[in-house]
Every structure is written in C-alpha cells, then in structure tokens.
Structure 1
Amino acid sequence: MSTSIRFKLSFMMFLEFFIWGAWFVTLGSFLIKNLNASQFEISNVFSTQSLGAIIAPFIIGMIADRYFNAERILGILHLAGAFLMFQMYKAVDVAVFYPYVLTYMILYMPTLSLVNSVSFRQLTNPEKQFSSIRVFGTIGWIVAGFTISLLGWDSSDGAADGALKNTFLMASVASLVLGLFSFVLPKTPPVKVADGEKPSFASMVGLDAITLLKDKNYLVFFISSILICIPLAFYYQNANPFLLEIGLTNATGKMAIGQVSEAVFLLLLPILFVRFGFKKTIMIGMLAWVVRYLMFAYGNAGDLSFMLIIGIALHGICYDFFFVSGQIYTDAKAGLKYKSAAQGLITLATYGIGQLIGFWVAGFIGEKYQGIKATDVAGFWQQTWIVPAGIAFVVLIIFMILFKNEKIESKTV
C-alpha cells in the first residue's frame, strides 16, 4: 500500500470519528444546559442513533452499494451532514433541533460502513493493515474530546455562556472537510458477486443469518447482547452530564481516557481471548459494566474522583471484551455462507434494537428520579447509575447460567 493511500485512509478515519466525538459526547449536557430538554426529550434525541443504525442498511444495501462508488456517496452524505450540523448549531429548542439530528443520524450511520468499505478495498492484508488505519479513528475521537475541554466549552462558565453549541459548528466544519476530501479518496465502485448479481438485501441487513438463532448458545448470546445494550445506553446518554454536574474538571477530555483504554484492550484482546476463552471473556466484559456503574454511583469529584477515572478507563474492557469478542464469536458460528449477514444481524440487534430500548429506559429512570435532582444532585446520579449496574448484573447471571462453555476457533484471533 502506497504512502499516499495510507495517508488518505488514515485521514478519512480520523475525520470520521472526530466528527462523531466532536458533538455526541457532550450532547446530553448540551440538551440540558442549552435547550432545557426533559429526560424524555433527551432520550428521543439519543434514540436517533439507534434509528439511524436500523435504517442505515437500507441506504447502503439498496442505494449506495448498488449504484454508486462508496467514496462518492461518503462525500455526499458528509456534505449534507455539514449543513445539518450547522442547523443544529443554530437550533434554539428541542422541537427545532430534533428533525435535524434525526436526519443527520440517518445519513451518518451508513458512513461507518462506507469508510470500512473504502479501506478494505485498498488493503492487501486487512488482518494486519486495518488496525493501523482504524486506530486513527480512535485518535480522532480523543482529539475531539481534548479540544472541547481545552477550549473550555464544557466548563461551568462555558456551559453557562452556551458555548457547548460550538461543538456542532466544529463538527460541521470537519464534516465539510471530509465531504470534500472524500472525492479524492481511492475509487471504490460497487462489487458484483460471482454470478453477476448483487447480494440480496436480506443478506445485507442480516436476515439470512436468523437461522443461527436455532443454536441455543448463540440465542443466549444474542439476547444477552440486546440486554447489555440497555446499560450501554445509560453511559452514552448520561456520562458527560453526570461528570459536569458533579464538578469534575475537564470532564470531556478525561472521558477520552475511555477511548485510549479501548485502543489498548483492542490490541490485547486476541491474547486474552485465547487465554480465557469466549465465555469468560464475555463475562469479564459484563462484570466491568457492573463495576463501572458502581464506581459512578459512589464516586465523587473530590477525594473519590479516582473512582470516576477508573469507571471511565473500564470502557476498554466493557466494550472490547463484550462487543468485539461477540463479533469474533459471531464470525466463528456463522460459517462462510452467513459471515456478512451475521455481522449485520448482531449490529442491527445491538446498536439498533438494544440501544433504542436502552435510551428509552434511561429516559424513564431520569424522569423518575428528577425530583431528587433539585435538592440532591449526587443522590440523583447515584440512583440513576445503580439501575444500569443492576441490569448488567442480571444479564451477567443469565449468561453465566444459560450459556454452555464451548471452544471457539476463528481466524480473526
């Protein structure tokens, strides 16, 4: 792979995740401080990510993957995204904001698959080369978080002045840059299968892989994956507002520790996966969710701030040990015929259905304890975090009892 192509793919990944990290991390805080949103309104806004994940296969499967070069549709989607981000920057209330964020997420979620498509088509040895390209996406997310804290947009003074809305302006500019840059990316035309026909839409969205659910072990894993996304949604929706409201300094920058942890454990996962096996690896990931939320529930921004940092740093174990291990397990169980369809199915179930339920549950819990918040902010957040800790613990017990240990062999590991 030439240096020029490596730079283009790395810069593409950097911007792709810089854009997401530039506004999504602080979205909950923005909705509370700038738009005075209720807990249910916040849940509706966050749910647009799940709706985007559900609708994304239609865009990729029925339009982009059939008629257009991947890099061109990537550019068009990000140019449209730049406009929508600018409209979100100007929004003065949730009613105005919501249609723009919904449309944006429907257009953005497909780009996560498109950047992978553009990359894989240029790699001669994806198993060895992709991680060195993809890591720039994690770096982009980290840089976005540090930039927000460095500029003070998430500080108490910045929030009071409405500075959090600048995150959308920053994301808009980055989206514009990536939109234009996409047109100089390596050409990635649609690929025809051996018989000259396009893959069926059912296979693209994972419907062909439903047959895997006949396997009891995989069914247990599948249901557990949906359920564990409920506590995951609590983190996305509440972590930044929580850290800011209890007074943790440079909260958004410190949240980037989670992405650093994710990168480190992603590199360690193949070794740990072989050492512990699939079931124990998954259970460690579930247990990490329980510990993380208990750290949030009983930590504070003072003498117990180390508990908050540990909770943030556990993100690598929480995410990699469950979701990445789950992708490996799915790949091994699917076999050659259903590999792509199975990954589509598990993605639709987790980022689509699972998190959609999770955001609604998080909104319900936030609204339920809202009365406490006026007089006891710390108490409000303690009650809020205990709920996902309990859910994660129940899922852990269900998985431990019902999932039968089995040896997993995959070329991915």
Structure 2
Amino acid sequence: MNIKLKLTILSFLQFFVWGAWLITIGVYWFGTKNWSGEDFGKVFATLGIASIIMPALTGIIADRWINAEKLYGILHIFYGITLLFLPNITTPDNFFVVMLIAMVFYMPTISLSNSIAFYILKNNNYDVVKVFPPIRVWGTIGFIIAMWITNLTGNKASGNQFYIAAVIAFVLGIYSFTLPKCPPQNLIPKDASLTEKLGLNAFALFKDYKMALFFLFSLFLGGALQLTNMYGDTFLSDFGKIPQFADSFLVKRSTIILSISQISETLFILAIPFFLIKFGIKKVMLISMLAWVLRFGFFAYGGPENGGLFLIILSCVVYGMAFDFFNISGSLFVETTTDYKIRSSAQGLFMMMTNGFGAIMGSLLSGYLITEYFTLPNGDKMWHEIWLTFAGYALVIAVLFAIMFKHKHNPDLMEEVTH
C-alpha cells in the first residue's frame, strides 16, 4: 500500500475514535444519565490530566525502548478495552476513573501519530511540510464522519457511542502493526538529567517576561477550547424540551450541525499562512480570541428558528478561525522565539498549558459555575446566560492580551516559516 495512503488511514482512524463520543457525551451524561454538571466538568478534565502526564512519558519510551508504531498500537487496543466498560457504569465517580484511564491511553497517541508520520515520511524522502498537512486534514474528516455516524445511528444519547469508538480503536491498534517500523531513535542522551529527560528544562522560559505572558494567556485561552465540545450538543438537544422544536432538524441532527465546526477548521488551516504573513502572530492570535467571543456570543442568541439557526451555523463557521488561529500561530510563535535545543520541549510546554492545565481549569470551573449559578431547580440549564458568560471571559482575555503582549511582526520570517 502507498505510504501516504497508509498514513492517511492512520490519521482518519486516529480522530474517528475520539469524534465518536467527544461531542455527544454531554447528551448522554445530562440526558440519559441525568448526572450533574460539576461531575461532568471533572470527566472532561481527564483530557487535561492525561495531556500533562502521558505525552512526555510515552515520548521517552518511544525514544528509548520500543518502536513507536508498536507502542501506538498497544495504547489504542487498551483505549478500546477501557471504552467497553463505560456504558455499564452507574455512578459519575466510577465513570471519572474509567474515563481517566481511557484518556491516559488515548491522549499520548495524538503526538505519537504525528511522530510516526514524520518519521515514515522523512525515511521515504518526502517533503514533510508539503505532504503532511493534506494527510492531517483526513484526521478532521475522520472526526466529522464519526460524529455523523453516532448521530445518524441514533446513538448520541446512548452508551453505544463508546462501543463504536472501541471497535474502531481495536481496528486501528491492529492496523498500526502493519506500518513501516519506527525504531527508537535514542535522541535523549543517556547521561541527560531527569529534568532534560522529562522536557522540564523548557520551564526556564518562564524567566522571560514575554514568554511567561504568552504561556499565561495560553493557559487562560486553553480553558475555553473544550467548552463547546463539552456543552454544544447538550445545548442544541435541550431545544427538544420545547414542544414546537422537538422534531426540528437542529435537535434531531445537532451533531451534524456541530460538525460544521470541524469542516470550517479544515478550511481555515489553508488561510493561516496568508494571515500570518499579512498581520503577524500577535494580531492572528488576537483575531482568534475575538473569534471565541463570537463563537460563544452567537450560541447565546442562536436557536432552531430561521435567524437563530443562522447564528448557530455562523458560530460553527467562526470556530475554525477561533481554534486554528490560536493553536497554529501559538505553535509558530514558540518555533520562532525559542532556542532549537529546547524547541521540542517548548512545544510540549505550550500543549501542556493549553490542552493540559488550561483544559483542566476550563472543565472544572465551567462545571462548577453552571451547576451553582446557571442550573434551574428543575435541572434545566440557563444557556443564554452560560454562553454570554463564556463570551465575556474570552473578551476580557482578548483585551488584556492586546494591551499587555508586545511582539514585533517580521513578514520575511513568517514567510519562511509558513512555506
């Protein structure tokens, strides 16, 4: 099989096994199980906890002791096994524990899949910069297809969504053993200190005011990245409690509507080089923060009727800009401002602040706020107020970032990095 096709299948399945439940778990949690929002926040925090601990650990294992493709396959098989337990769990505390175990197996596979693709492409003399992005786009397509399957099979409120993900995780785990070998590269010197082995030497970047400020804003914006994944489908499905909207397309096919967000994400990736060269990293990141304000604001005023449905769709379109512009421009900022000796560790630190500590903060804080201040006695959520609060949070971050963060735009450097 063609190398690029093999890696395309890998990318497709990698995100399929996540998309089958990530967007719809809220409907299952609140609608089927009728569990609390605070506990739901804890469950989503498992993504952050696993993102802090596991990628660095599995990276060391793959660098030193075991082929990356084999470790990747083993992790997916265990991820699939763990998912099989979720539909039969009867308490939120036990669900948290099992989901944490599942995320410990899954989250490191995201970075491992990239490492495997980079190694195989380079080993076969491909231009990674040109070849990898079209392969990675199929990961987003896999995520979208999984969302559609879960919705169209009537499983967005069912535990079957975990079975769907588990079966494909087994397929992916077995498939990974057919990939070209990716042996340990022993890139970490044997005499390296524990700090170097764990990539903790990048924490020295906090001594630099601009880098410290960048990572701080990464933390705060990271708190917003998963909020619509957590609550978006539940929000749209809750319109079904209103009799005249119970059979509306928005309610019945909420997951498909939300998949516009991922479709938008694939399109905005193509626009990033132009925006970075034209406006620079700071302005692109600021555009991302303002896009998050619009993302939440459009949700606040959206609904099943014509004008409201347009706002929901518009919110999903804006998501691509909000998500991509921050993640990719932030990664490029790290790439262009840190020493090459700690660049990989610095990228890991950026991911740790956004998908790790930021995700934990956003998950736990949103769960607490919604439970304490935005849930009616009958259990209904005050969605309008919830989304406006999130929009206000994003707006405060954007204003502070615009005032406090100083960065000089270098168009020539950006053109070199983005091509």
TM-score, length of structure 2 as denominator length: 0.91
Tell me whether 1:279 sits opposite 2:282 in the alignment. Answer: yes
**Amino acid of the structure 1 residue aligned with 2:256:** G
Which residue is equivalent to 1:225?
Answer: 218
Tell me how far apart the structure 1 counterparts of residues 338 and 149 of structure 2 sit (CA, whole Å). Answer: 41
Deviations along 1:327-386, whole A, 9 cap, x unmatched?
A: 001110113122101101111111111110111111111112354373865xx0011111
Structure 1 window deviating more from structure 2 (57-66 vs 42-51): it is 57-66
Which residue is equivalent to 1:386?
Answer: 388
Tell me how far apart the structure 2 counterparts of residues 322 and 198 of structure 1 sit (CA, whole Å). Answer: 36
Q: Is the 8 A contact 1:277 1:407 kept in 2?
A: yes
1:125 deviates by: 1.3
Which residue is equivalent to 2:82?
Answer: 84
Tell me how far apart the structure 2 counterparts of residues 34 and 99 of structure 1 sit (CA, whole Å). Answer: 19
Tell me how far apart the structure 1 counterparts of residues 144 and 263 of structure 2 sit (CA, whole Å). Answer: 8
| Paired positions, count | 400
Which residue is equivalent to 1:215?
Answer: 208
Q: Is the 8 A contact 1:230 1:388 kept in 2?
A: no
Which residue is equivalent to 1:252?
Answer: 255
Ranges in structure 1 where 5+ consecutive residues have no aligned partner: none
Tell me how far apart the structure 2 counterparts of residues 57 and 272 of structure 1 sit (CA, whole Å). Answer: 30
Q: Sort the Cα spacing of 1:98 and 1:200 in 2 relative to 1 into closer, same or farther, 3 A.
A: same
The equivalent position to 1:327 in structure 2, one of 316, 324, 331, is 331
Tell me whether 1:23 sits opposite 2:21 in the alignment. Answer: yes
Q: Is the 8 A contact 1:282 1:325 kept in 2?
A: yes
Which residue is equivalent to 1:347?
Answer: 351
Matches within 5 A, 1:12-411: 12-123=10-121, 124-154=126-156, 159=157, 164-193=158-187, 197=190, 202-203=195-196, 205-247=198-240, 248-249=250-251, 250-303=253-306, 304-372=308-376, 374=378, 377=381, 380-408=382-410, 409-410=413-414, 411=416
Tell me how far apart the structure 2 counterparts of residues 146 and 201 of structure 1 sit (CA, whole Å). Answer: 45
The RMSD of aligned alpha carbons is: 1.9
Q: Is the 8 A contact 2:60 2:197 kept in 1?
A: no
Q: Sort the Cα spacing of 1:255 and 1:21 in 2 relative to 1 into closer, same or farther, 3 A.
A: same
**Amino acid of the structure 2 residue aligned with 1:86:** L
SS at match of 2:183: coil
Tell me how far apart the structure 2 counterparts of residues 64 and 116 of structure 1 sit (CA, whole Å). Answer: 13
Tell me how far apart the structure 2 counterparts of residues 79 and 285 of structure 1 sit (CA, whole Å). Answer: 36
Tell me how far apart the structure 2 counterparts of residues 127 and 31 of structure 1 sit (CA, whole Å). Answer: 40
1:149 deviates by: 2.1
Q: Sort the Cα spacing of 1:373 and 1:238 in 2 relative to 1 into closer, same or farther, 3 A.
A: farther
Q: Sort the Cα spacing of 1:269 and 1:368 in 2 relative to 1 into closer, same or farther, 3 A.
A: same
Q: Is the 8 A contact 1:228 1:395 kept in 2?
A: yes
Tell me how far apart the structure 2 counterparts of residues 136 and 110 of structure 1 sit (CA, whole Å). Answer: 19
TM-score, length of structure 1 as denominator length: 0.92
Ranges in structure 2 where 5+ consecutive residues have no aligned partner: 241-249
Tell me whether 1:6 sits opposite 2:9 in the alignment. Answer: no
Q: Is the 8 A contact 2:16 2:142 kept in 1?
A: yes
